[in-house]
Each structure stands twice: as C-alpha cells, then as structure tokens.
Amino acid sequence: MSVTLGQAVLLGIVQGLTEFLPVSSTAHLALAQRFLPGFAQPGILFDVLLHVGTLFAVVVYFRSRIGATFAGIVSADAAQRRQAWKLVSLLVIAVALTGAVTLPLKRFAIEGMTEFRRMGFALVGTSALLFVAQRVGNARGEGGRTLEKMRPRDAALIGVCQSVSAVLHGFSRSGNTISVGLFTGLSRRAAAEFSFLLSIPTILAAAAVENVHAYRHRTGPVFDGVALPAYVAGMVVAAVVGYVAVGFLLKVVVSMRLTAFVVYCGVLGLLLIVFGDLLSSGVAGDLKVVP
C-alpha cells in the first residue's frame, strides 16, 4: 500500500487543521480518505508522522510554557517547583482518566471510525456544546481561574469528558476539553491552554496504543520506502498548518468567537446524519485515525 505526494499533503493539511480546531479530526480524516480516489491506507509510519507533525506544532507554540515547567521541576525555588509539579500532575490525572474510560470501550470506538451517521450525531453534539460554551464564556468575560489556580477535580472532569471524543468520533477533542474547562470556572485562556497542553500526552498515548495495535495486526508493511518523501511531506505540512491552527484557535477562544464553528459542526453533522449510511456503505479498508 502506498500514498502519493498529493494525498500526503492533503491529509497533512486536514490533520493539522482539525487536530486543534473544534471540528473533529476523526470525522474529517475519515471523510478525506473516503473521497480520495484510489486511496489505500498506507503503512503505520505515515500515521505516526502525521501526529508527530501536530505534536511538534503544539510543542513549538507553547515552548515557553513547557520550558518553564521543566525548569520549575528542578528549580531550587520551592514555589516554582510546586507549581510545575502541580501542572504535570493535572495533565497526568486528565490523561489517566481518559485512558481508564476509553480503553474498555476501544472496540466500540474502532467500529465508529467508519460510521459516518454516528459521527453526524456527535458533530451536532459538538455544535450544541460549543454554543453553550460560548454563552458561558461571554457571560464570564475575562474572569475565571488561571492555570495556576486549576484544581485536580477540574483536570479529572476534563479527562473523563475528553474520553467522549475518543469513543464517539465526531465529538471534537479540543472543543470538548475547552468547553468543559470553561464550565469548571477556568478563564478562556486557561481552558484553551490546558486543552492544548493536554493534547501532547493524549496524542502520544493514543498514537502509541493505536500503532502498537496496528503493528501487531498488520497485513502490510510498516511503511513503503518508495513513498517516504510523501510521508515526510505530510508530517511537515501537518506541523506548519497545526501551528497556525493553534494560534488561530487560541485567539478565537479568548475572544469567544465560536459561532462559525457552531454553525459548521451543526451543518456537517446534519449532512452526515442524512447521508451517513450511504457514505459508510462505500468505505473500503481500515480508516485509521487517532482521536
């Protein structure tokens, strides 16, 4: 199985945009793969590189925060050390609870990767969630707790709710976690920043689980050496587009201009509800994506 340069670039764009924008990367990657002429799922390495690209984007964007956290972990200043370890523990709590809820439902999640009608209902749910989050965010204004004042129960709730996106494909991970962060009382910026920081261990963990599973049950090669330039191109495009998407969404969340995403997810969801069964009947192959 192979992937062309054009397909790799297109999927890199889709991955970079939808991993962070609140529109569901799973639904969009599945749709893109569904309509690519002659598309066949490439080797495992291609999936890994696409997600390495988006991971690189968020790490570079938040390099100051990440660097300060690592420096704080070994700082001689007790207050800085305590704050750094607190952020790390919050991320661990959220990821651990996401995994605890998601792994037992893995089979259901895999089955949903080609169920476009199910994705449609989830996208409508994302639209409704973003609508409520926008109202909450606008009512609160610039107030709310910062990351420094975030509580373990906030991280736990975000982690549990993040698992909804991993199980019910079509629920946006970023939209879900940002909305729940706002509901717990975090400020707009804190909710967005925690969502982006949480994406780092979440994508790493999900990619590891999915790719180990794919490697153990593979029916083809891990990668096609001839197509390696296309694989790298997909990774680079995903990184560049993802970096732009992170900055764009951070500004959108801080200003609470989510109406376009509310409408987009609602319309796309309704279309998939109506035409989802037709789309699913034509799916061939294994559509592999990470939530």
For residues 243 and 239, give the distance between their C-alpha atoms in angstroms, rounded to a whole number.
Answer: 6
Of the listed ranges 4-13, 117-126, 277-286, the one predicted with least confidence: 277-286
Q: Helix (H, G, I), strand (E, B), or coil: what is residue 186? A: strand
The average pLDDT across 202-225 equals: 66
State yes or no: pLDDT of 111 exceeds 80.
Answer: no
For residues 27 and 265, give the distance between their C-alpha atoms in angstroms, rounded to a whole number.
Answer: 11
Q: Evaluate whether residue 75 is within a structural domain.
A: no
Q: Evaluate whether residue 194 is within a structural domain.
A: yes
Q: Evaluate whether residue 176 is within a structural domain.
A: yes
Tokens read off for 60: 């570079």
State yes or no: pLDDT of 45 exceeds 80.
Answer: no
Specify which of 46-55, 63-72, 133-142, 211-220 reaches the highest per-range mean pLDDT: 63-72
Give me the domain span that covers residue 48.
5-61+93-142+151-281
Q: 291: closest CA among 156, 155, 168, 123?
A: 168
Q: How confident is the model at residue 3 (pLDDT cuts 50, 70, 90)?
A: confident
* Alpha carbon separation from 218 to 60, 93, 113, 223, 247 (Å, rounded): 33, 32, 17, 11, 37
Q: Evaluate whether residue 86 is within a structural domain.
A: no
User: Could you tell me what percent of the chain has a pLDDT over 90?
Assistant: 57
Number of domains, the chain: 1
249 contacts 174 by C-beta, under 8 angstroms: yes
Of the listed ranges 22-26, 102-106, 252-256, the one predicted with least confidence: 102-106
pLDDT of residue 224: 57
Tokens read off for 157: 């709730």
pLDDT tens digits along 54-97? 999 999 999 999 999 999 999 999 999 999 999 999 999 999 99
Q: How confident is the model at residue 284 (pLDDT cuts 50, 70, 90)?
A: very low
Q: How confident is the model at residue 223 (pLDDT cuts 50, 70, 90)?
A: low
199 contacts 94 by C-beta, under 8 angstroms: no
pLDDT of residue 285: 41
State yes or no: pLDDT of 220 exceeds 80.
Answer: no
The average pLDDT across 265-279 equals: 92
State yes or no: pLDDT of 48 exceeds 80.
Answer: no
Of the listed ranges 20-24, 166-170, 205-209, the one predicted with least confidence: 205-209
pLDDT of residue 214: 59
Q: Evaluate whether residue 69 is within a structural domain.
A: no
pLDDT of residue 281: 75
**Cα dihedral 244, 255, 190, 98 sign:** negative
φ/ψ region of 170 (left if φ > 0, alpha if ψ in -120 to 50, else beta) reads left
Can you give 230-286 as a three-state secondary structure string?
A: HHHHHHHHHHHHHHHHHHHHHHHHHHCCCHHHHHHHHHHHHHHHHHHHHHHHCCCCC
Is the model more confident about 115 or about 282? 115
For residues 4 and 17, give the distance between their C-alpha atoms in angstroms, rounded to a whole number.
Answer: 20
Q: Evaluate whether residue 287 is within a structural domain.
A: no
Q: Evaluate whether residue 178 is within a structural domain.
A: yes
State yes or no: pLDDT of 219 exceeds 60.
Answer: no
The average pLDDT across 175-193 equals: 94
Q: Evaluate whether residue 81 is within a structural domain.
A: no
